[in-house]
Amino acid sequence: MQVMDIFVSAPGKAILHGEHAVVHGKVALAVSLNLRTYLHLKGTTTGNVSINLPNIDTFLCYDLSELKQLIPNSCGKMEEVKRLDAELVRRLREFIGVTNGNLDTCNMATLSFLYIYLSLFGSSELPSLTVSVWSELPTAAGLGSSAAYSVCLAAALLCASGAIPAPLKEGDHTARWCQQDLERINSWAFQGEMIIHGNPSGVDNAVGTWGGMLRFLAGKIIPLSRVPLLRILLTNTKVPRSTKVLVARVKDKINKFPTVMTPVLDSVDALSCTCEKVLSEMTCEPITGEHYNILEELIDINQHHLNVMGVGHPSLDTLCRVTLAKGLHSKLTGAGGGGCGITLLRPETDSSVVQTTVQDLKDCGFDCWETSIGGLGVQQHSPLSVKEEVLDILNSY
């Protein structure tokens, strides 16, 4: 079986508004980050399948004859997504030595890759191939790095198996799949996320697939057709946190003070809807300073709400204080309790202000990037359209 040479990428995600309130039936807005995960799938003649993850210094190689033994007899080639195959997952966990349930980043990435690979090719001829992945996203920071990885895997392996066509035509630099193929990519990426996270919401892989902005309410994910490209600073405080603990903390506070906290959740819901309305206006009429004034006020209000919910942290207070000193407005994104925050940059914000702010945040011990939100979802690349430094890494394996 001849397997194509394919480059794909998918974006990370940030929660613009609605953290924690979404768990309680309120609206959340998720947006794509212009920080991407890149994947190169290359056919080989080695009789092996290998995966290279230089971000975490990992190189793994498996013999195809051993992998074939792991496929349950009932597992044929599955181009359409079915329920997660618990027996295949069990066999793969045993194969890579993680039967105790503790998965580190390397094991999660390996398990997700092998599951999608074996599910898509099934008991037919397993192709020899090498998959190399490089990400601009930090791992375990609440920025959807695992989902971007799963989306890239799904897109590349679906193309390699012939389940969907490669959209890139001769002479193109980048290309996107049609809606039907994107839905298939998203479904398989969700399978990868289930393996990694157990019970994911589906928001992260949907952002990685469609990009732009998504409205999430009561389990329903609605991609918004148009969204303005907004400049931001993305800051990683590098303070570790447990999403599970933070979600439980908010729930406890709501149970303890229902008459106090219910209006807070309602306010966050209204805030998300107001933000969505403003962003929609910015795509169909001239963008004004007033649009940015409103977005900045909403950011400040939301950050105060999140502190009231109990998911703030001194490191996030520092982020807000440092950026406000430069006239910039920030809030946490994700679960809170540390982790990451976003800072809105106006179009007229001078580069010197951005540079000094980034340096001030780095002086606090944080990592900081200037990027944007609202970019494209998963896409196929020609090698010419991949950043040179990324291409060098992907081609070095």
Looking at the annotation, which residues are catalytic? 146, 204
Q: Tokens 């303890």 sit at which residue?
A: 256
User: Which residues, in sequence order, are CB contacts of 208 under 8 Å at separation 6+?
Assistant: 10, 11, 12, 13, 32, 144, 147, 148, 150, 151, 189, 377, 378
Neighbours of 77 (CB within 10 A): 14
Residue type, 145: S
What are the DSSP calls for 344-359, one per residue?
EE-TT--HHHHHHHHH
Q: Measuring CA to CA, how many Å separate 242 from each of 20, 93, 245, 246, 326?
A: 13, 24, 5, 6, 31
**Interatomic CA distance for residues 305 and 274, integer angstroms:** 15
**Interatomic CA distance for residues 275 and 281, integer angstroms:** 10
* Cβ burial 99-114 (10 Å sphere, 16+ → b, else e): eeeebebbbbbbbbbb
Residue 131: phi, psi to the nearest 5?
Answer: -120, 125
Helices assigned H by DSSP within the chain:
64-68, 86-96, 105-121, 145-161, 179-197, 203-210, 243-256, 258-284, 289-309, 314-324, 351-363, 388-394
